[in-house]
Structure 1
Amino acid sequence: MRIPCPFCGNRDVSEFAYLGDASAPRPAADAPDADREFFEAAYLRDNPSGLHRELWYHASGCRSWLEVERNTRTHDITKATFARDRVRA
Protein backbone atom coordinates (compact mmCIF):
# COMPACT_ATOMS: atom_id res chain seq x y z
CA MET A 1 0.00 0.00 0.00
CA ARG A 2 1.25 3.49 -0.85
CA ILE A 3 0.27 6.52 1.22
CA PRO A 4 0.36 9.95 -0.48
CA CYS A 5 2.12 12.14 2.09
CA PRO A 6 1.28 15.81 1.35
CA PHE A 7 4.93 16.75 2.03
CA CYS A 8 6.97 13.77 0.73
CA GLY A 9 4.71 12.38 -2.01
CA ASN A 10 3.73 8.72 -2.47
CA ARG A 11 5.50 6.50 0.07
CA ASP A 12 5.37 2.85 1.05
CA VAL A 13 3.25 1.99 4.10
CA SER A 14 6.39 0.65 5.85
CA GLU A 15 7.46 4.28 6.43
CA PHE A 16 4.35 4.94 8.54
CA ALA A 17 3.00 3.96 11.95
CA TYR A 18 -0.75 3.40 12.26
CA LEU A 19 -2.53 5.04 15.19
CA GLY A 20 -6.20 4.24 14.59
CA ASP A 21 -9.59 5.76 13.93
CA ALA A 22 -9.41 9.51 13.20
CA SER A 23 -13.12 10.05 13.80
CA ALA A 24 -13.31 8.61 17.32
CA PRO A 25 -13.17 11.21 20.11
CA ARG A 26 -10.49 10.65 22.73
CA PRO A 27 -11.92 10.00 26.22
CA ALA A 28 -11.32 12.66 28.88
CA ALA A 29 -8.40 11.67 31.12
CA ASP A 30 -9.94 13.37 34.15
CA ALA A 31 -13.34 11.65 33.86
CA PRO A 32 -14.38 9.55 36.87
CA ASP A 33 -14.61 6.42 34.69
CA ALA A 34 -11.56 7.22 32.52
CA ASP A 35 -10.06 3.72 32.88
CA ARG A 36 -13.21 2.09 31.49
CA GLU A 37 -13.59 4.66 28.72
CA PHE A 38 -9.96 4.25 27.57
CA PHE A 39 -10.32 0.45 27.65
CA GLU A 40 -13.47 0.63 25.51
CA ALA A 41 -11.88 3.11 23.08
CA ALA A 42 -8.81 0.92 22.63
CA TYR A 43 -10.29 -2.59 22.66
CA LEU A 44 -14.05 -2.46 22.05
CA ARG A 45 -14.20 -0.34 18.92
CA ASP A 46 -15.91 -1.08 15.62
CA ASN A 47 -14.07 -2.68 12.71
CA PRO A 48 -15.51 -0.72 9.77
CA SER A 49 -15.93 -2.07 6.27
CA GLY A 50 -15.59 0.57 3.57
CA LEU A 51 -14.52 4.20 3.72
CA HIS A 52 -12.73 5.06 6.98
CA ARG A 53 -10.66 7.98 8.35
CA GLU A 54 -7.41 6.92 10.03
CA LEU A 55 -4.41 8.56 11.70
CA TRP A 56 -0.93 7.67 10.42
CA TYR A 57 2.48 8.95 11.54
CA HIS A 58 5.19 9.34 8.87
CA ALA A 59 7.93 7.96 11.13
CA SER A 60 10.55 7.34 8.41
CA GLY A 61 9.86 10.53 6.51
CA CYS A 62 8.79 14.05 7.42
CA ARG A 63 7.48 12.94 10.85
CA SER A 64 4.06 14.44 10.24
CA TRP A 65 0.74 13.12 11.49
CA LEU A 66 -1.65 12.47 8.62
CA GLU A 67 -5.36 11.87 8.42
CA VAL A 68 -5.88 9.28 5.69
CA GLU A 69 -9.22 8.39 4.13
CA ARG A 70 -8.98 4.73 3.11
CA ASN A 71 -11.36 2.03 1.92
CA THR A 72 -10.76 -0.88 4.31
CA ARG A 73 -12.02 -3.41 1.74
CA THR A 74 -9.84 -2.36 -1.19
CA HIS A 75 -7.09 -0.33 0.58
CA ASP A 76 -7.69 2.48 -1.93
CA ILE A 77 -6.71 5.82 -0.42
CA THR A 78 -8.93 8.70 -1.51
CA LYS A 79 -7.35 11.50 0.54
CA ALA A 80 -4.40 12.22 2.83
CA THR A 81 -4.03 15.53 4.66
CA PHE A 82 -1.99 16.82 7.57
CA ALA A 83 -3.86 16.02 10.79
CA ARG A 84 -3.15 19.50 12.12
CA ASP A 85 -5.23 20.99 9.28
CA ARG A 86 -8.33 19.14 10.47
CA VAL A 87 -7.91 20.43 14.01
CA ARG A 88 -7.66 24.02 12.80
CA ALA A 89 -10.71 23.77 10.56
Structure 2
Amino acid sequence: MIINHPLLGPRDAAEFYYLGDASLMDRPDWQASDAAEQFYEYQYLRDNVAGEHRELWYHEHGDRSWLVVTRDTLTHEITKVELARDVALAKKAGAAPTGGEG
Protein backbone atom coordinates (compact mmCIF):
# COMPACT_ATOMS: atom_id res chain seq x y z
CA MET A 1 0.00 0.00 0.00
CA ILE A 2 1.33 3.44 -0.92
CA ILE A 3 0.65 6.49 1.26
CA ASN A 4 0.99 9.80 -0.57
CA HIS A 5 2.68 11.87 2.14
CA PRO A 6 1.64 15.56 1.83
CA LEU A 7 5.26 16.76 2.15
CA LEU A 8 7.38 13.86 0.90
CA GLY A 9 5.24 12.30 -1.83
CA PRO A 10 4.43 8.60 -2.30
CA ARG A 11 5.84 6.30 0.40
CA ASP A 12 5.47 2.59 1.10
CA ALA A 13 3.20 1.84 4.06
CA ALA A 14 6.10 -0.11 5.61
CA GLU A 15 7.61 3.28 6.60
CA PHE A 16 4.58 3.99 8.80
CA TYR A 17 2.90 2.65 11.91
CA TYR A 18 -0.89 2.48 12.12
CA LEU A 19 -1.96 4.01 15.41
CA GLY A 20 -5.74 3.75 15.38
CA ASP A 21 -8.86 5.75 14.80
CA ALA A 22 -8.27 9.45 14.07
CA SER A 23 -11.00 10.33 16.56
CA LEU A 24 -8.30 9.76 19.21
CA MET A 25 -7.22 13.31 18.40
CA ASP A 26 -10.46 14.52 20.06
CA ARG A 27 -9.43 13.96 23.66
CA PRO A 28 -12.19 14.60 26.23
CA ASP A 29 -12.08 17.52 28.64
CA TRP A 30 -10.62 16.16 31.88
CA GLN A 31 -12.41 18.88 33.85
CA ALA A 32 -15.90 18.05 32.61
CA SER A 33 -18.42 16.83 35.19
CA ASP A 34 -18.73 13.51 33.30
CA ALA A 35 -15.00 13.20 32.52
CA ALA A 36 -14.76 9.58 33.75
CA GLU A 37 -17.55 8.46 31.41
CA GLN A 38 -16.10 10.45 28.50
CA PHE A 39 -12.64 8.92 28.99
CA TYR A 40 -14.10 5.42 29.24
CA GLU A 41 -15.88 5.91 25.90
CA TYR A 42 -12.77 7.55 24.40
CA GLN A 43 -10.53 4.67 25.45
CA TYR A 44 -12.71 1.58 25.01
CA LEU A 45 -15.78 2.21 22.83
CA ARG A 46 -14.94 2.47 19.15
CA ASP A 47 -16.64 1.43 15.94
CA ASN A 48 -15.15 -1.28 13.75
CA VAL A 49 -15.78 0.49 10.47
CA ALA A 50 -16.29 -1.39 7.21
CA GLY A 51 -15.74 1.26 4.56
CA GLU A 52 -14.32 4.78 4.66
CA HIS A 53 -12.43 5.46 7.87
CA ARG A 54 -10.08 8.17 9.14
CA GLU A 55 -6.94 6.73 10.75
CA LEU A 56 -3.78 7.98 12.45
CA TRP A 57 -0.49 6.89 10.92
CA TYR A 58 3.00 7.75 12.20
CA HIS A 59 5.92 8.13 9.77
CA GLU A 60 8.46 6.27 11.93
CA HIS A 61 10.99 5.62 9.16
CA GLY A 62 10.94 9.12 7.71
CA ASP A 63 10.19 12.59 9.00
CA ARG A 64 8.33 11.31 12.10
CA SER A 65 5.16 13.15 11.16
CA TRP A 66 1.63 12.17 12.17
CA LEU A 67 -0.87 11.76 9.35
CA VAL A 68 -4.63 11.43 9.14
CA VAL A 69 -5.27 8.92 6.36
CA THR A 70 -8.78 8.44 4.98
CA ARG A 71 -8.89 4.82 3.80
CA ASP A 72 -11.54 2.33 2.75
CA THR A 73 -11.06 -0.61 5.12
CA LEU A 74 -12.59 -3.02 2.60
CA THR A 75 -10.48 -2.13 -0.45
CA HIS A 76 -7.54 -0.33 1.26
CA GLU A 77 -7.99 2.54 -1.22
CA ILE A 78 -6.62 5.77 0.24
CA THR A 79 -8.69 8.81 -0.71
CA LYS A 80 -7.04 11.52 1.39
CA VAL A 81 -3.85 12.10 3.38
CA GLU A 82 -3.45 15.10 5.69
CA LEU A 83 -0.91 16.20 8.26
CA ALA A 84 -2.50 15.59 11.66
CA ARG A 85 -1.20 18.98 12.76
CA ASP A 86 -3.25 20.68 10.02
CA VAL A 87 -6.37 18.70 10.92
CA ALA A 88 -6.04 19.65 14.59
CA LEU A 89 -5.42 23.33 13.84
CA ALA A 90 -8.36 23.48 11.42
CA LYS A 91 -10.63 21.88 14.01
CA LYS A 92 -9.44 24.33 16.65
CA ALA A 93 -10.10 27.26 14.29
CA GLY A 94 -13.51 25.83 13.39
CA ALA A 95 -12.64 25.50 9.72
CA ALA A 96 -12.84 22.48 7.46
CA PRO A 97 -9.42 20.76 7.18
CA THR A 98 -7.59 20.86 3.90
CA GLY A 99 -4.93 18.48 2.72
CA GLY A 100 -3.40 16.47 -0.05
CA GLU A 101 -5.37 13.87 -1.89
CA GLY A 102 -4.39 10.21 -1.57
- CA distance in 1 between counterparts of 2:75 and 2:9 reads 21
**Alignment size in residue pairs:** 89
Partner Cα distance (2:34, 2:89) in 1:
29
Residue correspondence of structure 1 range 30-69 to structure 2 within 5 A: 37-69=38-70
1:72 & 1:55 partners in 2: Cα distance? 13
Aligned-partner SS, 1:23: helix
The unaligned stretches of length 5 or more in structure 2 are 91-102
Q: Residue type matched to 2:8 in 1?
A: C
Give ranges in structure 1 of 5+ residues lacking alignment.
Answer: none
How much identity, in percent, do the aligned residues show?
57
SS at match of 2:20: strand
The 1:76/1:61 distance shift into structure 2, 3 A limit, reads same
Letter in 1 for 2:65: S
Partner of 2:9 in structure 1? Answer: 9
Give 1:26 shift.
1.8
Q: Which has the higher contact order (CA 8 A, sep 6+)?
A: 1
TM, length-normalised to structure 1: 0.80
Give 1:23 shift. Answer: 2.8
Show structure 1 runs of 4+ deviating over 6 A: none
Deviation at 1:56, TM superposition (A): 0.7
Distance 1:60 1:86 in 2: 22
Normalised by the size of structure 2, how large is the TM-score? Answer: 0.72
* Higher-helix-fraction structure: 2
Contact 1:7 1:62 in 2 (8 A): no
